[in-house]
Copies of this chain bind each other. A is one copy, B any other.
């Protein structure tokens, strides 16, 4: 049965995240499975590269599915684009090798978290940024960020963790750039736990405000205890930027 790789983007504002919840249309996966099922005339099981949170966005999300269809990938893509609401975009669809699986084959991901750091209004990108009006110390945040790069047990930076599985992950890159009034956090790694990027950003913002020292990060990591890290930054600033295979 042919295997497909679907590349997507979405404005997640209206949705309860990627993962299907019961029989509803208000998740990205749920909406896509219903539309693909209607186009292909069979029940479709869509595997995303990973979940995205309610209200979080994706510039590039990848999903895979199998189908018996006689339709070409181009035709399926065209019909899917016609059927999708304007806040979900189908970027590409192609046949994939038989063993390709969007989640299991994934070798790395990049997330971007956008903070609007100004009391000026942010009318045009307000859906995609978290506003912080405090003055932030960029250098302190960058010092703190360096402690997170590398291979660590990220239990302290993970919500609702199941203790059965390993929380060891590698963060390859964590950079913070100033782009006008925006502070842009770009985080790359081989895999992320639940809420990890949002907790990293929330913790770095506390460092930026001076509420936490950059040198506190190694101790927070070593504690393996979520309550020692900072608040979980709001989902609206988070965007799944790239999925690598």
Contact = CB atoms under 8 A, between A and B. Distances in A.
A88 B123 contact: yes
Nearest to A125: B124
Interface stretch (A30-38, A114-122, A138-146, A160-168): A114-122
A73 to B, nearest CB: 15
A126 interface: yes
Contacts of A89: 120-123
Contact of A123 (B86, B119, B120, B123): B86
A124 B128 contact: yes
Contacts of A57: 124
A91 B122 CA distance: 10
Given A86-B126, A126-B86, A81 B9 contact: no
A124 B128 CA distance: 9
Nearest to A86: B126
19 contacts: A9-B121, A9-B123, A9-B124, A10-B123, A11-B123, A11-B126, A59-B124, A81-B119, A81-B121, A84-B121, A86-B123, A86-B126, A87-B123, A87-B126, A88-B123, A89-B120, A89-B121, A91-B121, A124-B128
